[in-house]
Amino acid sequence: MFREIQSYFTWIRHTPTALCISLILFCILPAYVFYVVVILPVRTCGCDFPPVDSVRMAVPASDPDTNPDSREQKKVIRSLELESAYLESMLSLSKQDSAYLSLNLADSLLVILIKGVPVRSCSLTEIRISRQLRCLDQAQRVRWIAEPFLAERELSTIPRIRYINKQAPKDTMEAALQSAAPMPPDTSSVYYTIYFNRYLVVEINQSEEPYDMKKKIINRYRREKQQVINRETWQAFLHRTSPEPRILIRLTLSQADARAIYRGTPVQTGLVLKLPSDTNVNSCRVSTPSGRRVPPWL
Amino acid sequence: MEKSITKTDLTGRFTSMQIFRYSISILLALFLSVIGSILLVRNATPLRDTIILLVPSSDRESLADSVPVDRLDSLQASLEQKVTIVQKELDSYIPRKPYLIVNTTDNTFRLMIYDLVIREGKCSTGSYTILTNGINQKWVFETPRGMMKVMSRQMFPVWVKPDWAFIEEGLPVPSPRHISRLEYGTLGDYKLELGDGYLIHGTLYKRFLGMAVTHGCIRLGDEDLKVVYRNLRRGSKVFIY
């Protein structure tokens, strides 16, 4: 058997025709797949985002700016634009009754709010932002965050609520036999991904190392996440369209905070996003000082 | 002889072994290309992220870029004014009077005034138990989430036991006005009503503070309850998440 395989490879090395045909067939499908799922989305990156409203003043564009003061001033104006969009978005969610989230990437804070009141403020130990954000210009970024994001679906390693079913006892003796011990505190590892509308995906991971026994659940969660990506990519490939340009924001925070945020917000929660003014930073490791006082309007 | 061979004679030139080897090559190439495609699809996202680095970042189009330099000041001023107005409006949502925040995941509470913490500590909230009695009766013991208001306050409250309290103990349910429905001391020294039967009250089971054990109410320790009762009035807000 080994000799036959060896003779085959010897033959193919000495048969340029067969080698060429094999190489062409080997490369043609992956090349097409590579173009559709990798190159095409990068080329069309940013095009799927909402077009910019014509809010510019009707004046000719200024000459290339060589004045450092006006360059600095333009930086300030850009950050004010982002701030203004974020606050408008926050204001619109403040009017609703259910809890929602505020993700402030500039100050590394993830906050739960109810009716405009921050009820829990969590420091983020690490933030990673997808490089897809590079494709958006300033105006598109402002437009993108100007309205709240709404959660569409999620994947998680923990349930939202742990219900306990209990049958009513028939008599006092049966009631005495039923366990009255409270449920032990939940120590399961917390990893979840929330898919919002307008291409935003927020992935939240606990900073603590998971216990060995819980890794099965985490692996299943990671497999399901990968299946979502694979399914979308395959569907895009089969329909010969570009996969959706998802912008992924990966956050790391403490287990207790991650759990409280997941269980403290409703299923279809809203989220307001504040981008840092310099979004060329594609990934950053952040540590915040403890005892940080959160300004009321965040 | 060999030069005059036409295409129709081609198959005659190949032995069966060569045809077999060509077939194997084609099939192997196709198989490997499918495997390669699957791997590409699975790793499409990191590949895209790598290739995006090669794309120059977008021109930072902004209002500022389309405005003459001499009008930047007025643009900045108008944006700053807009931000200030919205910040003030958001700030007005935060109560200036004492309010309570209850965390049902960690079973903790914070008594706040504006953004200052007056008192914080442990509490007990709903156990998320579903009690089923036959097919017709079901109760879900969970603390509701959102913003609630204190509807009334009372000292030395008496607990009027609902039906589930008897069913849970395996006791027959008495008539609505029966004396066995009244229990003294169970709710502690103070009670604040939040509406729909939900209360903030004290507890005899202090060892269960910090755990999800209640039937929906919020239980506090004696000292914490005293401070909360003294600070919250009718209409004070309670935020539960």
The structural domains of chain A, ordered by start, are 69-160+187-290+294-298 (2.40.440.10)
pTM, full prediction: 0.82
pLDDT at A282: 47
Contact indicator for A112, A253 with CB cutoff of 8 Å: no
What region does A25 belong to: left with phi over 0, alpha with psi -120 to 50, or beta?
alpha
Cα A83 to Cα A62: distance, rounded to the nearest angstrom:
24
Task: Name the residue among B57, B82, B95 with its Cβ closest to that of A84.
Answer: B82
pLDDT at A67: 67
- Residues 6 or more apart whose Cβ sits within 8 Å of residue A59: B66, B67, B68, B71
Question: Tokens representing B122?
Answer: 């442990």
Cα A278 to Cα B169: distance, rounded to the nearest angstrom:
62
DSSP helix, strand, coil percent of chain B (3-state; round to 5): 40, 25, 35
Tokens 């085959």 correspond to A8
Task: Name the residue among A23, A134, A280 with its Cβ closest to that of B52.
Answer: A134
* Residue-wise pLDDT tens digits, B33-83: 999 988 888 888 788 878 877 766 554 556 666 667 778 888 889 999 999
Amino acid letter, A19: L
* B89 contact A CB<8A: yes
Give the bridge partners for A271, in sequence order: A101, A149
Side-by-side strand order, sheet with A247-253: A117-123, A109-114, A100-104, A270-274, A149-156, A191-196, A200-206, A247-253, A126-129, A283-285
What is the CB-side half-sphere exposure of residue B38 using CA atoms within 13 A?
A: 6
- The residue in chain A having the minimum alpha-carbon distance to the alpha carbon of residue B35 is A30
Reported as type and span, the H/E element at residue B194 is strand B190-195
Q: Which residue has the higher pLDDT, B211 or A285?
A: B211
In Å, how far are A124, A157, A195 from A218, measured between CA atoms? 21, 6, 18
DSSP label of A55: -
User: What length is written for chain A?
Assistant: 298
pLDDT at B88: 95
Q: In A, which residues are within 8 Å of B94 by CB distance?
A: 116-118, 296
Cα B139 to Cα B18: distance, rounded to the nearest angstrom:
77
- Residues 6 or more apart whose Cβ sits within 8 Å of residue A30: B33, B36, B37, B40
What Rg do the C-alpha atoms of chain B give, in angstroms? 36
Cα A55 to Cα A81: distance, rounded to the nearest angstrom:
12
pLDDT at A279: 52
Other beta carbons within 10 Å of A65: 15
Q: In A, which residues are within 8 Å of B130 by CB distance?
A: 163-166
Instruction: List per-residue pLDDT tens for chain A, 298 residues long.
Output: 888 788 888 887 888 888 888 888 888 888 988 888 788 777 776 655 654 443 443 333 344 555 667 778 888 888 899 999 999 999 999 999 899 999 999 899 999 999 999 999 999 999 998 887 877 888 888 889 999 999 999 999 998 888 888 888 888 888 887 766 777 777 888 999 999 998 899 999 999 888 766 678 888 898 888 888 888 877 877 777 766 778 889 999 999 999 999 999 999 999 999 998 765 444 444 444 333 333 333 3
In Å, how far are A24, A246, B40, B55, B155 from A32, measured between CA atoms? 12, 22, 11, 20, 76
In Å, how far are A22, A24, B238 from B30, measured between CA atoms? 8, 10, 65
pLDDT at B1: 43
| Å between B219 CA and nearest CA of chain A | 14
Confidence of residue B7 (pLDDT cuts 50, 70, 90): very low
Cα A249 to Cα B230: distance, rounded to the nearest angstrom:
44
Cα B94 to Cα A65: distance, rounded to the nearest angstrom:
43
Residue B9 has pLDDT above 80, yes or no: no
Other beta carbons within 10 Å of B11: 8
Residue of B16, B21, B25 to mutate for A, most A C-beta atoms under 10 A:
B25
Residue B227 has pLDDT above 90, yes or no: yes
Residues 55-74 in B contacting A (C-alpha not used; CB under 8 Å): 55, 57-69, 71-73
Residue of A87, A94, A277 to mutate for B, most B C-beta atoms under 10 A:
A87
Average pLDDT of chain B, as a whole number = 87
Mean pLDDT of B173-194: 92
| Å between A155 CA and nearest CA of chain B | 18
* Residue-wise pLDDT tens digits, B104-151: 999 999 999 998 999 999 999 999 999 998 878 899 999 999 999 999
